[in-house]
Amino acid sequence: MGMWNRTAETLSRDELAALQLKGLQKSLRRVWCNDFYRERLSVKGISSPEDVKSLDDLSKLPFFTKDDFRDAYPLKMNCVDRRELMEFHQSSGSTGTPVVMAYTKNDLNQWAECMARCYAMAGLEKGDAFQIMPTFGLFNGGFGCYHGCRKAHLFCVPASSGNTERQIKLMRDFHVKGFCSVVSYVPRLIEKLDADPNGDFDIPSLKVGIFGSETFSDELRRRIEKRLHIECFDIYGMTETGGIGTTGQDCMAHNGIHVWEDQYITEIIDPVTGEVLPDGEYGEVVFTSLNREAMPIIRYRTRDISRILSREKCACGRTSLRIDRITGRTDDMLIVKGVNFYPRQVEEALMEIPGVKDEFQIVLEEHDGMTDVTVNVEAEEGVTGHMVAKHLREKLGFLPKGDVFPVGSLPRSEGKAKRVVRKNV
């Protein structure tokens, strides 16, 4: 399996530990010069960056959250001279104060390096055509893919989002080998292919799909791979860590997401107590950056739920630890009739029902303090609401309502799918 940076991707555990301590101490010295960070660190009892003498001392440091980024809007967390900033991106959320991430030249190079590793991990090589479907703009997806394409010497097709017919035409005309998008857009792409009036249902050159920003089930992955004849990869990264791909991706072994440990320290904590959990236990993912300049992150609570799968060398040859694919987020967990579950678990259950298609909605409606759940799905004839509800009860432990709609009936989105709809809540 190809690697972009074999030296960095095959470091021993001892080499990684030494590199991480050096990077952590460097980041602490950098943020100590910033009033916002220093005040947060001081509250936790940190009197100097020199208080951290080993990786075990990481637990002495405070957690940072999305609220810190919002409180620091727009650039209170910037740790370099303003003249060194070259670019910024911000979260795609439409409400509240946005999360901003600014970049120096070295930060952009670090981002591009991480993305180039992801591309190589997916089997992409110099000259391969790669189509970028995330939006180009304040959201980091489009530009992150672009910076990575240039670093990896790929032939970039900067399509941006929307206009599915054009996306397909570009893929065919330029013999695109790989593309990146949100996974919920792929069913839209497939629908257009299936409806081709000339019976041209495939894109022969296409081999790789890289999907980020949303969780998705293994069954949906298999459906996409079978229909498009591609291999799917789950890329990981967020605005706060520096953008798409900065924290890793799964390799061709598909046995967890490799985290770039020479770039980030990974912790899994109990979301309630904040205590670090042993490997193998599910909890909230926390990242600390080692090489970011403008806006480093210190013990950043991502709200994503995962676990550390292994620190052993992977079948692909990489030595970085692997975390499980993201199960959900601490803030999208649903509690209904005493049962906790995530939208991804609903998707996994639905994909097991023959005839059920990819589009679905979870509708929550509150009546007199009780929450009723209806799961709307698109399905072929013969699938009934009773079948859907019964299967969900077996998988989730409670009985929701199930409503079945013809294929194409539920709302579509060019961006992230809105899976949960709340009414009267």
Sketch out the chain's domains with CATH numbers: 1-331 (3.40.50.12780), 334-423 (3.30.300.30)
pLDDT digits (tens, 9 = 90+) for 208-261: 999 987 777 788 889 899 999 999 999 999 999 999 999 999 999 999 999 999
Residue 227 backbone phi and psi in degrees, to 5: -75, -40
Q: Which pLDDT score is estimated for 282?
A: 94
Q: Which pLDDT score is estimated for 421?
A: 81
Residue 88 backbone phi and psi in degrees, to 5: -145, 155
Confidence class for position 270, pLDDT limits 50, 70, 90: very high
Confidence class for position 370, pLDDT limits 50, 70, 90: low
Q: What percent of the chain has pLDDT over 70?
A: 94
Res 302 pLDDT > 90: yes
- pTM score: 0.83
Longest dimension (CA), the chain: 70
Confidence class for position 49, pLDDT limits 50, 70, 90: very high
Alpha carbon distance 342, 329 (integer Å): 8
Q: Give the three-state DSSP class for 262.
A: coil
Query: CA nearest 59: which of 277, 222, 381, 386?
Result: 277
Q: Which pLDDT score is estimated for 424?
A: 64
Res 425 pLDDT > 60: no
Pairwise pLDDT comparison (149 vs 183), residue with the higher score: 149
User: Using CB atoms within 10 A of its CB, is residue 38 exposed (0-12), middle (13-18) or buried (19+)?
Assistant: middle
**For the chain, give me the number of helices (H) and strands (E)?**
11, 21
| Six token digits for residue 63 | 């957690």
Range list of H helices, 130-185:
140-152, 164-173
Res 148 pLDDT > 70: yes
Q: Which pLDDT score is estimated for 396?
A: 78
* 279, HSE (Cβ side, Cα atoms, 13 Å): 9
Res 159 pLDDT > 80: yes
As a whole number, the mean pLDDT across the chain is 91
Q: 302 and 334 in contact (C-beta within 8 Å)?
A: no
Alpha carbon distance 77, 69 (integer Å): 8
